[in-house]
Amino acid sequence: MSGKHKARKRFGQNFLTDQKIIERIVATIAPKHNDNLLEIGPGQGAMTLPLLERVNQLNVIEIDRDLIKILAAYNKSNLVINQGDALNFDLNLFNPPIRVVGNLPYNISSPILFHLLDNRDKIIDMTFMLQKEVVERMSASHGSKIYGRLSVMMQAFFEVELIFVVPPESFDPAPKVDSAIVYLKPLKSCKVGDIDIFEKVVKAAFSHRRKTLRNCLKSLLTQEQTGVDLSQRAEMLDIDTFITLAKDYEKQY
């Protein structure tokens, strides 16, 4: 199958070929017949075909028109193919709440995650293949060197779990790095107030990793305006402390 279509680097195309891994991903998703499933980047259907056997209907979003032709040729009555860019697709079109899955194009995985973060109220859960290094950053704990903006933004809104690691040989063409399956579920009681303010504070806090919060946040907050000790570096703060910091900044508005 992959012989017919030449993988396009600009669309981050690394097609899954390892059947055991595909089965493990489908088992992780554990789809039920009535699930409202959306797959981002179905490619040539490596995950799509086994998923179609388990659900009454599957929506997919694919950007590459050549792949759309391959998918359409399967003639599956329960497959709804949407051609377009997952980065600006309106999720309301899929009759939310939805479960989102996909082996994401690695070159745009962060913007896709942030687009989905903005749409979290429409999402039941998400199961994605991403670069292992990205999943490790998403799930890192405070105090670790890789804990940063992505860790805080994801963990403030989702339960984040690295499920298993996938080696490069499971794909054609093989990526240069390890991949991993991550499971994300919106938190039932998210404590963040204004998301734009939260994002602004988190971004500023990590703008210079070696500097203290006092330095990074100097245009936003002074030590007198918050109970959080600003002599620390951002990587030492847990999620709840970031939420407190953002709320203290919000009070200054």
Q: Which residues bind ligand SAM (CB under 6 A)?
A: 11-16, 40-43, 46-47, 61-64, 67, 85-87, 103, 105, 108
Nearer to ligand SAM, 11 or 114 (CB): 11
CB of 108 to ligand SAM, least distance (A): 6
Nearer to ligand SAM, 17 or 212 (CB): 17
Q: In sequence order, what are the beta bridge partners of 126?
A: 100, 184
Nearer to ligand SAM, 41 or 148 (CB): 41
Provide the CA 209 distance to its chain's centre, in angstroms: 23
Q: Give the position of tokens 């989102």.
A: 100
Contact 204, 220 (CB under 8 A): yes
Nearer to ligand SAM, 35 or 62 (CB): 62
CB of 111 to ligand SAM, least distance (A): 9
CA distances from 201 to 36, 126, 159 (A): 35, 26, 21
Nearer to ligand SAM, 30 or 87 (CB): 87
Tokens describing residue 23: 């089965």
Strands 158-166 and 179-186 turn out to be antiparallel
| Amino acid symbol at 83 | Q
DSSP helix, strand, coil percent of the chain (3-state; round to 5) = 40, 20, 40
CB of 133 to ligand SAM, least distance (A): 15
CA distance 178 to 57: 31
Q: Which of 39, 73, 72 is nearest to 55 (CA)?
A: 39
Contact 100, 116 (CB under 8 A): yes
Nearer to ligand SAM, 107 or 144 (CB): 107
CB of 227 to ligand SAM, least distance (A): 42
Measured at CB, which residue is nearest to ligand SAM?
41
